[in-house]
Amino acid sequence: MDMVKRVITGAHYGLRDWLAQRITAVVMIVFTLLLATIFMISPPHDEASWKAIFSNRWMRTASFLFLVSLFWHAWIGMRNILMDYVHPTGIRLTLQILVILSLIFYTIWSAEILWALEMA
């Protein structure tokens, strides 16, 4: 019975990460096309026009969604790269923690950049 029940696949995060990588990719594609359209319709030519684009409430939320998708996507990609090339467990774990910490830092920084705009 034990042999039948034995789970031979890994930690089961593979499929979830695979799917998250693709969903975040689609979110980023949509935002990129949106931004490209905005830039083509009215190219921002000075500081005020840049601020006007990103101080719009929907645009700010969409930008934040894009950046969070980017950071999540980057985590999965960097984790895959580190698993492929960095074999000593200690070094790999250290690098993975550095990647996670930097991405958390970037998330907070992104919120600051986008929401500081309102106060200006």
Partner 1 sequence: MDAESDVTGEQKLQRKRPKYLNLLEIRQPLPAIISILHRLSGALLFFPGIPLLLCGLDLILNSPQGYAQFQSFLTNPLFKVALTLFLWFFLHHFCAGIRYLALDLHYGGKLEQARLTSKIVLAIGIILTLLMGAWIW
Among 27, 31, 69, 71, binds partner 1 (CB under 8 A): 71
User: CA end-to-end span of the chain, whole Å?
Assistant: 67
Q: Are 64 and 111 in contact (CB under 8 A)?
A: yes
110 binds partner 1 (CB under 8 A): yes
Q: Are 111 and 60 in contact (CB under 8 A)?
A: no
59 binds partner 1 (CB under 8 A): no
Helix H, strand E, coil C: the string for 27-94 is HHHHHHHHHHHHHHHCCCCCHHHHHHHHHCHHHHHHHHHHHHHHHHHHHHHHHHHHHHHCCCHHHHHH
For residue 20 the two structure tokens come to: 């998250």
Please report how close the Cβ of residue 7 comes to partner 1 at its closest, in angstroms: 26
Please report how close the Cβ of residue 35 comes to partner 1 at its closest, in angstroms: 12
Among 26, 83, 101, 104, binds partner 1 (CB under 8 A): 26
22 binds partner 1 (CB under 8 A): yes
64 binds partner 1 (CB under 8 A): no
Binding residues vs partner 1 (CB under 8 A): 22, 25-26, 29, 32, 46-47, 50-51, 54, 70-71, 74, 77-78, 81, 99, 102, 106, 109-110, 113-114, 116-117, 120
